[in-house]
Amino acid sequence: MSAPPTPGVSSPRPGLHAVDRARYFWQRVSEGRQIDDLWVQFVADARSSYGFYVRDVDWEEIHKLPRWRQPLHVARQFFWALLLKMSPARRVLLLIAFVMLGMSVIKTEMNFEVVAVMLFMLLLSLELADKVTMKRDLEIAREIQTWLVPSQPPEVAGANIAFATRPQNSVAGDYYDAFYPNPENREKLMVVIADVAGKSVPAALLMATLQASLRTIAPENPPLPDLVARLNRYACAHSLNGLRFTTAVLSEYNPGSRRLTYVNAGHNAPILRRANGALETLEVGGLPLGISLDCQYETASLEFRPGDVLIFFTDGVVEAFNESGEEFGNQRWLSAIRNLPDWDAQQTLQFLMKSVDEFVGATRQSDDITCLVFRCR
């Protein structure tokens, strides 16, 4: 069966000249992207792959060696990092391909280069098949995960909400939510942001259990400290002795009194920007969920005034980095918040995310980035 045509690129008509066929081939391969865009994507992929393999290099050992020996040892450790990430059968196949490539310098009747190339192509096809299968599964998981978070913010009397998330991988360990535990009685709005330790599928699974637990407990209308304590007990039972903890900020907002009560369980402190430009941080709470079964959580409250804006975010925002490895950092984030125009929640969110995007550029990130904006009118 022939491959389906690339979207936006029509199949070549019979009788086209070689130049036209070459142009069609290039359009199909590049999906119509410009050389500059392809180069930026390649650089981002290369940096991401380098970061993936460099974690397995023992730099402390390397730096102890004479300078002239260091490149060889780095290359050797990179090779082992690559080799050990394959299945045993594919490792053997790769080694045979390298042996064949080395034997190609020997003048014999057998064409070792062709055998080596065929083995490399076979390995590439096997790895690509695994990647495509995994990507498809992750896309399904991502679709399921989108069902667990709101697609649209709820309507709130005298306020508006906006949120955005960018997973580092197809699925994320970040969680945000804004919902009425009792939709028929809108006297209490839950506003939540959380970040499960770890990345990708394991973090996403724990994020799903947190969402399910919260959505089950909240309609029972327990006091906020009790709700957090119950979530913590459940998290401790599934945290692998604290290795899979969750940072979170859980809050209840009363639209009538404009009062918000919150608990910060070890999360990046949300920032409240008052209408006059003053900044406050929401730090009261306790340890992350899943660390200690006996942890006691404190609550604190604040009252909103027209023009106040509260910004929830995960550590992926302040730890976002550019191509030089420099972090966006708390100071740039605070500066962006100080310079917020007097806009609604959605425009405010776009302004903040643009500040991060302009700093990061095309650099692929190593953590999920999530932000939730709550603005009082």
* CB neighbour burial string for 276-287, b if at least 16 within 10 angstroms, e if fewer: eeeeeebeebbb
* pLDDT band at residue 111 using 50, 70 and 90 as cut-offs: confident
How confident is the model over 83-110, as a mean pLDDT? 84
State pLDDT tens for residues 329-347. Answer: 999 999 999 999 889 999 9
Domain boundary among 124, 147, 170: 147
Domain boundary among 107, 125, 147: 147
Q: Which residue has the higher pLDDT, 317 or 139?
A: 317
Are 103 and 164 in a shared domain?
no
How confident is the model over 291-318, as a mean pLDDT? 94
Of 151, 153, 145, residue with least CA distance to 173: 145
Q: What is the pLDDT of residue 14?
A: 57
Q: What is the pLDDT of residue 146?
A: 75
* Joined tokens for residue 331: 């100071």
Q: What is the pLDDT of residue 2?
A: 44
Q: Which residue has the higher pLDDT, 225 or 105?
A: 225
Q: Say if CB 77 and CB 58 are below 8 A apart.
A: yes
Domain with 372 in it: 154-376
Are 213 and 290 in a shared domain?
yes
What is the rounded CA–CA span in Å between residue 83 and residue 76?
Answer: 10
Pick from 19-23, 54-58, 319-323 the range whose average pLDDT is largest: 319-323
What is the rounded CA–CA span in Å between residue 226 and residue 233?
Answer: 11
State pLDDT tens for residues 57-95. Answer: 888 888 888 888 888 888 888 888 888 888 888 889 889
* Joined tokens for residue 26: 């290039």
State pLDDT tens for residues 284-296. Answer: 999 999 999 989 9
The answer to the question of residue 294 being in a domain is: yes
What is the rounded CA–CA span in Å between residue 194 and residue 316?
Answer: 12
Of 307, 373, 306, residue with least CA distance to 346: 373
* pLDDT band at residue 153 using 50, 70 and 90 as cut-offs: very high
Average pLDDT taken over every residue of the chain:
86
Q: What is the pLDDT of residue 57?
A: 82
Whether the predicted pLDDT of 156 surpasses 80: yes
- How many domains does one find in the chain? 2
Are 247 and 351 in a shared domain?
yes
Domain boundary among 147, 174, 196: 147
Please tell me the least confidently modeled range out of 59-68, 251-260, 262-271: 59-68
Q: What is the pLDDT of residue 248?
A: 96
CA 195 to chain centre: 10
pTM > 0.75 = no
Q: What is the pLDDT of residue 159?
A: 95
CATH number of the domain enclosing 313: 3.60.40.10
Q: What is the pLDDT of residue 171?
A: 67
Q: What does the DSSP 8-state code read for residue 40?
A: H
Q: What is the pLDDT of residue 1?
A: 43
Interacting residues of 343 by C-beta distance below 8 A, sequence separation 6+? 351
Are 129 and 188 in a shared domain?
no
Q: What is the pLDDT of residue 183?
A: 85
Q: Say if CB 263 and CB 225 are below 8 A apart.
A: yes
Interacting residues of 277 by C-beta distance below 8 A, sequence separation 6+? 338
* pLDDT band at residue 3 using 50, 70 and 90 as cut-offs: very low
State pLDDT tens for residues 184-199. Answer: 888 999 999 999 887 7
What is the rounded CA–CA span in Å between residue 158 and residue 306?
Answer: 8
Q: What is the pLDDT of residue 238?
A: 78
The answer to the question of residue 255 being in a domain is: yes
What is the rounded CA–CA span in Å between residue 155 and residue 161?
Answer: 8
Are 220 and 315 in a shared domain?
yes
